[in-house]
Amino acid sequence: MRMKQKNTVSIIGVDLFCGVGGLSHGLMKGGIRVAAGVDLDESCRYPYEANNRSKFIRKDVRKLQSGDIEPFFAEGSLRLLAGCAPCQPFSTYSQKNRTGIRDGKWDLLLEFGRLVREVQPELVTMENVPQLHGQDVFQSFLDSLSGYHLWHGVVDCVRYGIPQTRKRLVLLASKLGPVSLIPPRRHAQKSVTVRDSISNLSKIVAGESNPADPLHTSCSLSPRNLRRIQASKPGGTWRDWPIGLRAKCHKKDSGMTYPSVYGRMEWDAPAPTMTTQCFGYGNGRFGHPEQDRAISLREAALIQSFPMDYKFVRPGDTVKFNVLGRLIGNAVPVTIGKIVADSLMNHVVKLPNQK
């Protein structure tokens, strides 16, 4: 076991599939040093390195070897391998292939397991979609953790102070002893709301940016969509609109099951799950509670629990909604990373040889 002397615990991590650094940033806020992040998407490099004091490695995890990772770990520290392997949306599956392992949809998770077997870090954490829990490939991943103490469960982000109705599968593994995620704070009296998260940002109109913060920018709206959001109530649906504003899909039986599309968020409730299209008014309940526009990219990042000063684009670079929406929507909420770090730090300091 790698441990500093004098009861000082040091954990150094490598973040696979690091994206813009949501998991890494949360781990660092919890006292874990993340030495490097690995991702194939070059657009992640600037936000990852600008905010996390870590090295970004652009590489396909399928081609990553243990020798690429091990130099980032330091003697005297516990090693953590972390990551959120991307998985294709479940809506694209056929029932025939839902439990398949090697159908191309889950190979990145299997590569994560391969690297765990090769590196044998003392600690592992994985975050993913809740539906993974019922897949054969999840058991295959657990098999790669032979010799580890395991904890895994579906985490309700609202209960951990994240202002959105997001649920994620979280796994912790340790060679050192039993490990578990710290419980939600029992003293919390209410959920963190949209108001708590974004109400202090400056007002902007659809299609406008705040000169002081280029990420606080909102998509433009067509005249018809502007009339639609003006007719929308916080927490309401398109059924609140005059008949003439309703879309053709709303008039079909199939459209009746999507009441949140074109909806406004509510100030005093958590936001819906941030998706890669959360910047678009017509993509879900992503309308601002009172301003006639979709939420801005900065507001989406805040709802994902990124700090206000998190940098996503180089000064002077163009803000691209499709790129940044994808990066923000796919990110692990920073607070989840912090909770994982707190859990792992709590775990290692309570080890018998640390008392």
Residue 155 neighbours by CB under 8 Å, 6+ apart: 167, 168, 169, 170, 181, 336, 339
pLDDT in tens, 269-285: 999 999 999 999 988 89
Tokens of 36: 């490097």
Range with the lowest mean pLDDT among 1-15, 33-47, 153-167?
1-15
HSE-up (13 A, CA, CB side) for residue 341: 25
What SS3 state is found at 186? coil
What local confidence, expressed as pLDDT, does residue 293 receive?
97
Q: How confident is the model at residue 188 (pLDDT cuts 50, 70, 90)?
A: low
Domains contained in the chain, CATH given: 11-186+332-350 (3.40.50.150), 194-330 (3.90.120.10)
CB atoms within 10 A of CB 41: 17
**Opening angle at CA 28, ends 308 and 334, nearest 5:** 45
> Among 54, 135, 129, which residue's Cα sits nearest to residue 88?
129
- As a whole number of angstroms, the distance between CA 111 and CA 106 comes to 9
For the segment 48-104, what is each residue's pLDDT rounded down to a tens digit? Answer: 999 999 999 999 999 999 999 999 998 889 999 999 998 654 433 333 444 444 445
Give strand pairing partners of 210: 213
Contact 135, 109 (CB under 8 A): no
pLDDT in tens, 105-148: 678 999 999 999 999 999 999 999 999 988 899 999 999 999 99
- The Cα–Cα gap between 46 and 307 comes to 16
pLDDT at position 354: 55
C-alpha torsion sign, points 66, 67, 71, 72: negative
Catalytic site residues?
87
pLDDT value of position 352: 76
- Report d(CA 163, CA 194) in Å as an integer: 6
Name 34's bridge partners: 13
Phi-psi region of 347 (alpha: psi -120 to 50; beta: other; left: phi over 0): alpha
Task: Give dist(CA 16, CA 188) in Å, integer.
Answer: 32
Predicted model pTM: 0.90
Q: What is the sign of the dihedral through the CA atoms of 184, 84, 301 and 167?
A: negative
